[in-house]
Chain A
Amino acid sequence: MRRVRAELGQLLRDARLRWIGAVLVVLLGVALAGAWRQAVRDAGDVRAIAQAERGRWLGQDAKNPHSADHYGLWVFKPSAPLAILDPGIEPYTGRMVRIEAHLFNDAVFRAVQDANPLARAGLGSVADIVQLIVPLAAILLGFSAFAADRERGTLRLALGNGAAPGRLFMARFGALLAALALLVGLPLLVLGGLAAVSLDAPGWEVWPRLVPWVAAQLTYAALFLVLAMTLSLTARTARSALAASLLAWVLVCVAAPRLATVAVDATTPALSYGETRARIEETFRGHRTAEANDDRAKAVLARYGVTDPDALPVDLRGLMMSENEQHNFAVFDAAFGAFFDSLLRQERAYAWAGLLSPRIALQALSAALAGTDFPQHVRFVWAAEHYRRGISRRMNQAIIDNPQGGERRYTADHDLWETVPPFDHGPMPLADAAWAVPLAILATWLAVLGGAAVLAVRRLTP
């Protein structure tokens, strides 16, 4: 610890650390403030419109329940509070779903759709900064750890004075890691925690998510510190150490993530959304022809042993709508089930692509911990669909139970609308999130680089 303190004291006097620290804190602060402001505004808007929608649903005129089913309502995906730190895939997926009869509507209005074309080129979030810039900072802090001493000849002096290479390495690593923890980990934990807690998000397990999230970011930073220091141990000059570290950074943080998209597309292709929709449409088209409808009506009448719909104890139209919906639900389940499964397979493949680059592993781990990963979105999509089905079932049942015919017209009112509960979507618990694979991969990276560092320390020559 004494050595670490000594190294840290020396490090804190280094202008390089002050510059790097200032840039990082400013970048993180600006990104966090922007995200928090947007999140507060969005949460307020969503709360207000969700209440208004509920009011509109309950306040609609008396009408046939099927018309109410068509009138429908909008439901909104609750944003994860830690999205202010890592929005994960949230900007790339829809945030709201129109609930209405017959239609499994898309979750629409993705933030990326409304973002200006420069947004994707830049650093959009705190997580982007951590994933791209923090490694660079770690490299700039760590590349000269041994190579500069070697160039100056002071490494020979230190080793000659009996300093154990392993201890020297650990002291310098400890000091640099402490500096990074101070510059990155602490602001993330304190500011991120305060901001996330202020967003009032029950059920999101904010602190159990935040603490490992910050730990994951620090582990990632530590990886690059180990990498830069290992290269510094082996390089003859500081220039070579820096060049090699920067090359590794470019490969791992810039090129590999995009290369992974090519690899995953080739090895784990997903189903096409357009084709899935077209297949569903084709199935429905055959099912809803007048002839098919007539056959089903005859079958219903035969089931009840009557020939006249008016002789039925239930409403034929309601019954047929209900049966039709059951058919549609099955088609949706099969088609969209397969489609979302294929996307989830691809997401898992991306997590494994973390073997190509720790940035990919961190991206997957970070989003899973923050609750902004794709499984969360899929959960919302199906929750909205089940809510829609619940409304359709209630409306159809009301029609079934109130046969119409001749002069009889059925209109329902507030009493029926009130039987529909508000949409209440809870997040996927942290325990169920897909963090195990990326965590294991990140740990593997750390172990491999740590092993390389141990080897380099053993072979250290002045």
Chain B
Amino acid sequence: MKLTPWRTDHAVRRALRLLAAETGMVLRERLTWAVLAALFAALLLGAHTGAVRVEAERAALATLAAEEGRAVVAAREAYARYARATPVKINYWQDPTNAFGYMTQFLTVHAVKPPTPLAALATGQSDVQPSFMRVSFGSSTVFDDVAYELGSAARLKLGAFDLAFVLAVLVPLAIIALAGTRLSVERDSGTLRLIAAQPIGPRAVAGAKFGAVAGILVVAVLGQTGLALWLTGAIRSLAGSGVTLGLLAGALAAYILVWVAACALVATLWRGAVAALSILVLAWTLFTVAVPAAASIAVDCLTDKPSRIAAIDASRQVQDAFANGGAGPRLTAQWLARIPGAAGRADLVEAPEIKRLARDAHYDVQLDARRESFRAHDRESAALSRWLALASPVTTFDFALQRAAGTDAGRHAAFLASAAAYRRTLRAFFEPRIVAQALNPVPVCAGCQARLDFDAYDDVPRFQPSIDLTAGRRGALMALAWLIVLAGGLALSARARLKAWPA
């Protein structure tokens, strides 16, 4: 039937009246306020947990900066002390005035992954992946990511009670509690027959019922989340993340609509409250744990995960080849031959610093392909996971929060790559100085035991942390778009099934 403007206007007014009546009814229910109160308490706790974590990360970074500063001061003091004659023998590993000694024993620098402005939103990978790594040359390293902050394994296993958990996991349960049986309970109690006897279609009734819950939940959850963030001081400054936060708010609203629409769709099965509740909880379980588990298996199958054990074996083979069978001196001589002015210096082949540099260069060349395979896997796994996360609205929204918070796997993979690059930069800084000292030792005062060839402590390159705010924005936008599509799809499916009242 084609609606005339008068009829359309009338239908809209009637729908609005129904919506207002339903909204009033939902707001008068004690269950509504109990659920919203519990949700607010959870949001407050989640925001507080995030704020505490971010504060701890900031404090840790401040401690590292202080530690780096103290190391430089100590080296400078040692330089002043050792620049005078002394009977004390100073080995290279005790000598911060020597470029090699400083690089291998005293250098205190870190690659850091500072928290983003929205870091408090999601713990993400931050509790299992380190937010900083000490870059050192004291011993050989096989991979980029050997460092981690050992903590309670039980805590890691249980997972963090953070805002992402509350929003992505608990909010749908709150929605199911409020909207899950909204229509089916009418059928169970017999009032659906009375409603059906009125001159009103099922679409208008369902629209009013689920629209009222959706409206209340969107306003309440967004408001409560904002209030929780403000009260706990979880977001100190937006610093360029305002748009991302806005997009996330939109994604949260769309996420709520997805679950309300799912409740509406389940209601159209007309199977009663028990069945509706069972189906919705099973759907929640499916999308919260089963689909992510299946997606995780898919990621593992589709990406070629290199073996850590095999990589260690390879690294030991390289190490073994250098250390034994006389290969070390030959490889050191080859490495030395590439340096201008060092080709004929056979005496340097046994110098510890030259041996070490040649050895590390050899390891780097031999193991680079393996390191790169791990980096490539991390990047590939992070990217594929982002796409497969779309299989579930829960992971879609959760991943958007993680990307905005900068606690996602993609950022960590980029961090590992930049930390490895920083290590190379440091090596490039020290290597010429070490070689120059080996070729032409700096003259020192009579009776001085230290080498006194290095005092450029302030010139040592510093790690430049990067915060890619656009990644968070892109993630939030993608989640928003996808959740709108999902919500729309579910709502349209429900609408299509609500042509007529059940028999």
Contacts and interface: CB of A to CB of B under 8 A. Distances in A.
A46 B153 CA distance: 23
Interface in A339-379: 343, 346-347, 350, 360, 363-364, 374, 377
Contacts of B285: 132-133, 136
| Main SS at interface, chain B | helix
B278 interface: yes
B79 to A, nearest CB: 13
Given A61-B324, A122-B289, A239-B274, A259 B281 contact: no
Contacts of A92: 128, 153, 156-157
Contacts of B60: 272, 274
Interface stretch (A174-182, A285-293, A388-396, A454-462): A285-293
Contact of A290 (B95, B295, B297): B95
B320 interface: yes
A113 B153 CA distance: 13
B292 interface: yes
B84 interface: no
Contact of B128 (A49, A76, A110, A243): A110
A347 B309 contact: no
Contact of B299 (A71, A118, A260): A118
Nearest to A359: B158
B232 interface: no
A239 B185 contact: yes
A121 B395 contact: yes
B277 A261 contact: no
Contacts of A250: 170, 173
B94 A120 contact: no
Interface stretch (B245-253, B382-390, B461-469): B382-390
B310 A239 contact: no
Interface string A287-321: 01111011000000000000000000000000000
Contacts of A52: 313, 316
Contact of B158 (A60, A237, A260): A260
B32 to A, nearest CB: 15
Contacts of A403: none
| Main SS at interface, chain A | helix
Given A122-B289, A123-B289, A294-B89, A100 B152 contact: no
Contacts of A98: 139
Contacts of B45: 259, 262
A451 B72 CA distance: 66
A165 to B, nearest CB: 23
Given A53-B316, A113-B148, A257 B49 contact: no
Contact of B398 (A106, A121, A128): A121
Interface stretch (B5-13, B159-167, B199-207, B495-503): B159-167
Contact of A46 (B288, B309, B319): B309
A412 to B, nearest CB: 14
B155 A350 contact: yes
A117 B409 CA distance: 6
A314 B213 CA distance: 85
Interface string B54-75: 0000001001000100000010
B454 to A, nearest CB: 16
A363 B157 contact: yes
Contact of B146 (A106, A239, A265): A106
B153 A93 contact: yes
Nearest to A262: B161
A298 to B, nearest CB: 10
A98 B160 CA distance: 31
Interface in B157-195: 157-161, 165, 169-170, 173, 177, 181, 185, 188
Contacts of A265: 155
Contacts of A71: 319, 323
B381 interface: yes
Interface string A97-114: 010100100101110111
B145 interface: yes
Interface stretch (B218-226, B257-265, B300-308, B437-445): B300-308
A377 B153 contact: yes
Interface of A: 27, 34, 42, 45-46, 48-49, 52-53, 56, 59-61, 67, 71, 73-74, 76, 88-89, 92-96, 98, 100, 103, 106, 108-110, 112-124, 128, 132-133, 136, 140, 144, 237-239, 242-243, 246-247, 250, 254-255, 257-262, 264-265, 270, 272-275, 278, 285, 288-291, 293-294, 343, 346-347, 350, 360, 363-364, 374, 377
Which 3 A/B pairs are nearest by Cβ-Cβ distance? A122-B293, A89-B153, A122-B292
Interface of B: 42, 45, 49, 60, 63, 67, 74, 78, 82, 87-91, 93-95, 124-125, 128-129, 139, 145-161, 165, 169-170, 173, 177, 181, 185, 188, 272-274, 277-278, 281, 285, 288-297, 299-300, 303, 305, 307-310, 312-313, 316, 319-320, 323-326, 381-382, 384-385, 388-389, 394-395, 398-399, 402, 408-409, 449
17 contacts: A45-B309, A46-B309, A106-B150, A110-B148, A113-B148, A117-B399, A121-B293, A243-B277, A247-B177, A258-B165, A261-B158, A262-B161, A273-B149, A290-B88, A294-B88, A294-B89, A363-B157
